[in-house]
Amino acid sequence: MSKITERVEEIVAPIVESLGFELVDVEYVKEGPDYYLRIAIDKPGGIDIADCALASEHISEVMDKEDPITEAYFMDVSSPGAERPLKKEKDYENAVGNNIYVKLYEPIAGDKEWIGILEQYNEEFITINAKIKTRTKTIEIDRKKIAKIRRAVVL
């Protein structure tokens, strides 16, 4: 399915950008008997329902012509939400100084899930300051060990 998402991203990115939006994520998944194409877009100040509808209309028109997906599917164009995933280097850059949630393939310091402030990142590692009870612990995480990473809303 990654070839499909790559192809859809190639098709959709110019459309989204021409509308003044940022393409955040493309996901193509099978859930039960149905396939879903989920496209997350954003812009400074956030995306609203009218923005999603506008982008959906333009994307649908081109997707019908290009037809990169052979199965029937449902398409959803939406905001990435407050807990948007960190997929691109720009996402990491924008998340520095903010709370993030990290789920790992294998434990570091006894835990597979961490919430903390992203202090820095590079191609190989991220560094977060995680609050554990009353103290703060600096954790360095190999990016190859990250299963999922997103912004975190901490109340």
CA 49, CA 47: separation in Å to the nearest integer? 7
- pTM for the whole structure: 0.78
CA 92, CA 150: separation in Å to the nearest integer? 9
Average pLDDT of the chain, as a whole number:
94
**Domain 3-78 - what CATH class?**
alpha beta
pLDDT of residue 154: 84
Give the closest residue to 126 by CA, choosing from 144, 153, 111.
144
Contact (Cβ atoms closer than 8 angstroms) between residue 121 and residue 130: no
CATH number 2.30.30.180 is the correct assignment for the domain at 89-151? yes
Q: Encoding tokens for residue 78?
A: 């939406």
pLDDT of residue 71: 92
Q: What percent of the chain has pLDDT over 70?
A: 99
pLDDT of residue 129: 96
Element (H, E) at 10: helix 2-18
Summarised one tens digit per residue, pLDDT across range 18-75 is: 999 999 999 999 999 999 999 999 998 899 999 999 999 999 999 999 989 999 999 9
Q: What are the extents of the domains in the chain?
A: 3-78, 89-151
Give the closest residue to 127 by CA, choosing from 83, 153, 105, 95.
95
